[in-house]
Amino acid sequence: MIENFEKRILCIGAGYVGGPTMAVIAQKCPQYKVTVVDINPDRIARWNSEKLPIYEPGLDDVVREARGRNLFFSTDIEEGIRESDIIFVSVNTPTKTFGAGAGMAADLQYWEKTARQIRECSGSPKIIVEKSTLPVKTAQAMKRILLASDKKNHFEVLSNPEFLAEGTAVQDLEKPDRVLIGSDETVSGLKARNDLVEVYANWVDRDRILTTNIWSSELSKLVSNAFLAQKISSINAISALCEKTDADVSEVARAVGMDDRLGPRFLNASVGFGGSCFKKDILNLVYLCRYYGLFEVADYWESVVRINDYQKNRFVFNMLACMFNTLATKKICLFGFAFKADTGDTRESPAIFISRKLVEEKAELIITDPEALENAKTDLQDIEGAVRYELDPYAAAEGSDAIAIMTEWKLYSDLDYERIYQSMVKPAFIFDGRNILDHRRLFDIGFNVYPIGKPPLTHFDDQPEICQE
């Protein structure tokens, strides 16, 4: 078949970032051939099926429009490399679990393997684009690996971090706040940068496409996520103070967020932030600061993660204290397991930590979530005897002593809580880890209600003094 495409774009890694990003590029640019490859054949099979491997609102339509026209999913990585002009790399970069920097630095083994494979299979010059979030200076290492060959292919490495958030990935990609492209400031670097600008300019206004040097681009991604997470840890820290002072964290957040300089978003106090990026990126930043001897700066950013751990711990201690200091044999129902609404992703979800802590207290768990049960079962397989999974929230809550809201799925605000209350053991408790419910109404139904950062509404005469670790 003779293919008449203007450019051939490849993406290595068909995950939460690579899949949606390439689907939108293919949809917006029918003149380009876009191929997504992965070492995992099951994942590729699902991208080629009616049931995509990730749940993301709006994504099915985008894939359906472009797949088979100019969007292809394949396991043939070598052929993909050979035929492409631009290669995006979005393989996973988890936190290292071994050796130097364990628990903090990024594990770059998948990245390096990919760089070597690109070098071996390439027969023509290529632009390589870092899409995965990576430590600063990875592009430089990548370039050294790519150029260490007898073949005299020219490779240009660009940094083009992805800012999409799960659950809103399609709209974030279609209408991004900004697209950031970092390159070497050499003649060939600037040309490659320009080639990538032209790809995005097919649908993004040029004044939203920022170009920088490569290190600024790599660092900006880490800093953006660190600032966002910092905002959440700040309001979560204040939620603890609100609980002591009878202030209401939503009222405080509203007053603070109306200041234009601060803005209202990312001020929802919660059981803690999750997701594959925030913790990993902050720890990466912390590692980088320590590496350069900037210990005060490292400690400052590390405290954002420490407050997040504190918030998750606090939530469990609160449950324990409010339920008469014992959870043994009590049935606790978790509403939601995904790290946020509108995704099935559970990576770093606070629900994982909280489930484990509750099972340590010998509670029996019933977990419900509209999209994340498959991942939840994998996450908790080592404690499977203590956990039951139910898709239907009414069936999940039946016979339980307490409900804990873990994820802000809209469906949990719309349930019939009168019916749920009738089916539960009394006294019935609700711990709203996302502050999404109508607390006064729940109290009137008969529940004892414990929000985050607000006075509890209970039918008891006195409140327990909560001890914290």
Which residues carry out catalysis?
277
Choose among ligand ADP, ligand UDX, none what residue 40 binds, the Cβ cut-off being 5 to 8 Å by kind.
Answer: ligand ADP
- Is 393 near ligand ADP (CB under 6 A)? no
Determine the residue type at 273.
Answer: F
Query: Least distance from C-beta 90 to ligand ADP, angstroms?
Result: 5
Residue nearest to ligand UDX (CB): 275
Considering only 5, 28, 39, 46, the residue that binds ligand ADP (CB under 6 A) is 39
For residue 33, the cross-strand partners are: 8
Smallest gap from Cβ 275 to ligand ADP, in A, equals 9
Is the CB of residue 92 less than 8 Å from the CB of residue 13? yes
Q: How far is CA 337 from the centre of its chain?
A: 13
Give the Cα separation of 154 and 124 in Å (integer): 7
Backbone angles phi, psi at 290, to 5 degrees: -65, -40
CB of 400 to ligand UDX, least distance (A): 23
Of 84 and 114, CB closest to ligand ADP: 114
Cβ distance to ligand ADP smaller for residue 39 or 190: 39
Residue 321 binding result from ligand ADP, ligand UDX, none, given CB thresholds of 5 to 8 Å by partner type: none
Cβ closest to ligand UDX, residue 278 vs residue 315 = 278
CA dist 446 and 444 (Å) reads 5
- Alpha-carbon distance values, 149 to 10, 79, 85, 112, 402 (Å): 22, 19, 19, 15, 62
Give the integer Cα–Cα distance in Å for 328 and 317. 14
Q: Is 12 in the site for ligand ADP (CB under 6 A)?
A: yes
Q: Is 324 exposed, middle or buried (0-12, 13-18, 19+ CB in 10 A)?
A: exposed
To the nearest whole angstrom, how small is the minimum distance from the Cβ of residue 331 to ligand ADP? 33
The footprint of ligand UDX (CB under 6 A) covers 162-166, 225, 228, 232, 266-268, 270, 273-275, 277-278, 339-340
The SS3 of residue 456 is coil
**Number of other CB atoms surrounding residue 170 within 10 Å:** 20
Does 222 interact with ligand ADP (rule: CB under 6 A)?
no
215 contacts which partner out of ligand ADP, ligand UDX, none, CB within 5 to 8 A by kind?
Answer: none
Q: Which residues pair with 7 in a beta bridge?
A: 32
Residue 407's nearest CA partner among 468, 466, 331, 354 is: 354
What does the DSSP assignment read for 322-371? HTTT--TT-EEEEE--SSSTT----TT-HHHHHHHHHHHTT-EEEEE-SS
When CB distances are held under 5 to 8 angstroms depending on the partner's kind, the choice from ligand ADP, ligand UDX, none that residue 18 binds is ligand ADP
Residue 39 contact partner, candidates ligand UDX, ligand ADP, none, CB within 5 to 8 A by sort of partner: ligand ADP
Out of ligand UDX, ligand ADP, none, what residue 300 binds, judged by CB under 5 to 8 A for its kind, is none
Measured distance between the N- and C-terminal CA atoms of the chain, rounded to whole angstroms: 66
User: By C-beta, is 16 or 447 nearer to ligand ADP?
Assistant: 16
Instruction: Return the residue of 15, 167, 336, 433 that touches ligand ADP, per CB under 6 A.
Output: 15
Residue 103's CB is within 10 A of a number of other CB atoms, namely 10
Q: What does the per-residue mask of binding to ligand ADP show for 166-185, with x meaning CB under 6 A? A: --------------------
Distance, in Å, from the CA atom of 359 to the CA atom of 319, rounded to the nearest integer, reads: 13
132 binds, among ligand UDX, ligand ADP, none (CB under 5 to 8 A by kind): ligand ADP
Return phi, psi of residue 387, to 5°. Answer: -130, 140
Instruction: Name residues contacting ligand ADP, limited to 41-80 (CB under 6 A).
Output: 43, 77
Cβ proximity to ligand UDX, 12 vs 249, nearer residue = 249
Examine residue 14 and tell whether it contacts ligand ADP (CB under 6 A).
yes
Torsion of Cα atoms, 334 then 339 then 341 then 344, to 10°: -90
Instruction: Point out the residue whose Cβ comes nearest to ligand ADP.
Output: 15
Which amino acid does the sequence have at 104?
M
Q: Which of residues 35, 95, 114, 236 is near ligand ADP by CB under 6 A?
A: 114
Candidates 90, 217, 318, 349; binder of ligand ADP (CB under 6 A) is 90
Tell me whether residue 90 or residue 270 sits nearer to ligand ADP (CB atom): 90
User: If contact means CB under 5 to 8 A according to the sort of partner, which of ligand ADP, ligand UDX, none does residue 270 touch?
Assistant: ligand UDX
Q: What is the Cα–Cα distance from 352 to 258, expressed in whole angstroms?
A: 33
Q: Which two tokens stand for residue 457?
A: 């509404």
Residue 18 touches ligand ADP, criterion: CB under 6 A: yes
Binding site for ligand ADP (CB under 6 A): 12-18, 38-40, 43, 77, 90-92, 110, 113-114, 132, 276
